[in-house]
Structure 1
């Protein structure tokens, strides 16, 4: 499992800047309240979620689509909690 040091966490923070305002707002709130408490396992999943296209990511956050990976769901629930 990957270990996330401060440099890796800064890269993740940069990746939360998205092209859709709706995602920017949700992720800004999530980052302010939850990010620092994420485990390395959750951070690895978050990186995979951030690799999704904006439209797909937004559809998962809004529960318009279901995630293809079941391990996404707990973290998506945390993100949704900050909507």
Structure 2
């Protein structure tokens, strides 16, 4: 399991800037409300989610598609709640 120091967290924060306005808005709220409370395990999963293409990521957040990886579900729920 990776350990996320401040530099790694800043990099993740930068990666939340996406090409879709809708996704940017949702992620900005999530980053403000939840990001600092994520464990290293959750951060690792969040990094995997950030690797998805924008359209697929947004479809998962909007529940138009189901996540193929069940590890994503708790993080996606936190994103939706934010």
TM-score, length-scaled by structure 1: 0.98
RMSD in angstroms over aligned alpha carbons? 0.3
Alpha-carbon deviation of 1:62? 0.2
Which segments of 5 or more consecutive residues in structure 1 lack a partner in the other structure? none
Alpha-carbon deviation of 1:6? 0.2
The separation in 2 between residues aligned to 1:74 and 1:37, in whole angstroms, is: 13
Tell me the residue number matched to 1:26: 26
Q: Mapping of 1:3-82 within 5 angstroms?
A: 3-82=3-82
Alpha-carbon deviation of 1:56? 0.1
Q: Aligned residues, how many?
A: 82
Which segments of 5 or more consecutive residues in structure 2 lack a partner in the other structure? none
The separation in 2 between residues aligned to 1:14 and 1:75, in whole angstroms, is: 18
